[in-house]
Amino acid sequence: MVEVEIGTEFLHGEPRIATVGIDLMDQTLAEQGIATTPTQWRPPPADIAATLGQIALSTEVASANETAVAAITSARPHLVGIGVASASLELERGTFLHAGPPIEWDQASGPLRGALIGAALLEFPDQTPVQLTAHFEAGEFALAPCHSRGAVGPMAGVVSPSMPVFVVEDDVTGRKGFCTLNEGLGKVLRYGAFSPEVLQRLRWIESSLAPTISATLGRTGPIDLFAMIAEALQMGDECHNRNRAGTSLLLRALGPSMFEAANSTSEAADCFRFIAGNDHFFLNLTMPAGKVAADAARGVANSTMVVAMARNGTEFGLQLAGTGEKWFTGPSGMPQGLLFAGFSEDDANPDIGDSTITETVGLGGFAMAAAPAIVTFVGGSADLAVKSTRSMYEITLSEHPMFRLASMDYRGTPVGIDAAMVCRSSLLPVVNTGIAGKKAGVGQVGAGLVEPPLSAFVSAIQYFGEVNRGAFTDDWSE
């Protein structure tokens, strides 16, 4: 029994109690009817405690992180055109890109396998799914992460050489980022479906939608994506799981030029209606915009800032600005949220997709305060949206100068995840995400929130400590 005595002579007002660490204190107070604010904090893992201490004291790390986050927040990505994956991504026949960290066929989950088969059917239309599966099993097709070619892909994220891709260019660094065009809802490749209707739609995207948008951009000139995202944040999008405003603003910007540029009114109308029929169309622009912004911070030595978070449906992986191309991984989590009618948790695949690039640059779960309506997709109350954003300031290095939250008096969204701060607080990034069915071809079964595995952040810090030992002012060997 814990007795709380209040020294009235020095305390004005009711004391407010925050509890930390093990639950015993919190529970005991609760039994006495005393309100507490339990914190998320847990002690950092023992094996990296010393490294975390050194990082906290290092002026080199602090300065590197400042540089890294400034690189993210000063990017100005523009949609400049449409390319073909074979040329834009130097993607050779027989190689397939996928979301998340590297993975081989034998470890791939249902939706990723389905999407790979679908993409292979596009590239090798004279072969059957059984034949193509055999090629994957035999290792005759190569797999590589989208991130390794400057691209990002939602859900399974599979890209094959013939696919058209958005080309996004950062005005500041000149870097380019790429993403396929969003296929719409229902049975689609990115959720692992590969039926004839899925392939037919992909062929239409290649033969009609992509050239029409390309010609449209020839008339409009580059589209300033961060300006559009900043506006969408004032219109209820958090730009990962809710993209209705972004898609509407894009149509508003492209609409008339699309009709002026298209081969015919009916072709333009088909393209306009296809985009208007899919609120997530804009996600495939926010993602490569996020990619080029995050890539601007790649290679900043000594930085513990995260430049990529991505899931392949089996594993979650992250990369740090200061540790090159190395991935740090842990098991993909299971999103918690709302499942569509007719589906149960048994139908859900573990977390999948490169769309966590949005959270990496201060959007998605980090911008939930902009999107109270998101709770209709992911469950919870409006309060959850604000709380999620607020908590992310504790693991980020800065506030985004363009992504501002009207409901928080125009405070910038939290941006620049510091893996060291994540490990110190055990507070994990909040991710909004779609939930894929675990069987190939089922499609989306829901949407929800998911936390990346802490172990990936711990591995990253552990590695960072090893490679940098002795490199800083404070002697790390002590």
Contact set with a second copy (CB under 8 A): 13-14, 231, 234-236, 244-245, 248-249, 251-253, 255-257, 259-260, 265-266, 268-269, 272-273, 276, 372-373, 375-376, 381-383, 406-409
Q: What is the spatial distance between Cα 280 and Cα 239, in angstroms, rounded to a whole number?
A: 9
- State the minimum distance, in angstroms, from the CB of residue 210 to a second copy: 18
Nearer residue to a second copy within complex by CB, 141 or 274: 274
Nearer residue to a second copy within complex by CB, 255 or 331: 255
Nearer residue to a second copy within complex by CB, 212 or 314: 212
DSSP H or E run through 339: strand 336-339
Nearer residue to a second copy within complex by CB, 13 or 196: 13
Q: What is the spatial distance between Cα 118 and Cα 132, in angstroms, rounded to a whole number?
A: 9
- State the minimum distance, in angstroms, from the CB of residue 215 to a second copy: 14
Nearer residue to a second copy within complex by CB, 170 or 399: 399
Closest CA to 189 of 128, 115, 133, 122: 115
- State the minimum distance, in angstroms, from the CB of residue 14 to a second copy: 5
- State the minimum distance, in angstroms, from the CB of residue 118 to a second copy: 29
Contacts of 440 (CB under 8 A, 6+ apart): 110, 111, 113, 114, 115, 117, 192, 193, 194
- State the minimum distance, in angstroms, from the CB of residue 409 to a second copy: 5
- What b/e string do you get for 280-318 counting C-beta neighbours within 10 Å, with b at 16 or more? bbbbbbbbbbbbbbbbbbbebebbbbbbbbbbbbbbbbb
Q: What is the spatial distance between Cα 461 and Cα 328, in angstroms, rounded to a whole number?
A: 9
Nearer residue to a second copy within complex by CB, 289 or 368: 368
Evaluate whether 342 touches 145 at the Cβ level (below 8 Å): no
- State the minimum distance, in angstroms, from the CB of residue 230 to a second copy: 11
Nearer residue to a second copy within complex by CB, 7 or 342: 7
- State the minimum distance, in angstroms, from the CB of residue 72 to a second copy: 24
Evaluate whether 323 touches 68 at the Cβ level (below 8 Å): no
What are the two backbone dihedrals, phi and then psi, of residue 274, each rounded to the nearest 5 degrees? -60, -45
Q: What is the spatial distance between Cα 259 and Cα 208, in angstroms, rounded to a whole number?
A: 13
Strand 36-38 and strand 17-19: pairing? parallel
Closest CA to 133 of 476, 457, 440, 365: 440
- State the minimum distance, in angstroms, from the CB of residue 452 to a second copy: 27
- State the minimum distance, in angstroms, from the CB of residue 241 to a second copy: 14
Burial of 6 (0-12, 13-18, 19+ CB in 10 A): exposed
| DSSP-derived secondary structure letter, 305 | B
- Give the number of other CB atoms < 10 A from CB of residue 201: 18
Closest CA to 389 of 402, 406, 377, 376: 406
- State the minimum distance, in angstroms, from the CB of residue 331 to a second copy: 33
Nearer residue to a second copy within complex by CB, 236 or 299: 236
Q: What is the spatial distance between Cα 218 and Cα 211, in angstroms, rounded to a whole number?
A: 10
Nearer residue to a second copy within complex by CB, 266 or 473: 266
Nearer residue to a second copy within complex by CB, 253 or 338: 253
The SS3 assignment for 417 reads strand
Q: What is the DSSP string of 220-250?
A: H--EEHHHHHHHHHTTT--SSS--HHHHHHH
- For residue 82, list its beta bridge partners: 166
Evaluate whether 444 touches 355 at the Cβ level (below 8 Å): no
Nearer residue to a second copy within complex by CB, 137 or 231: 231
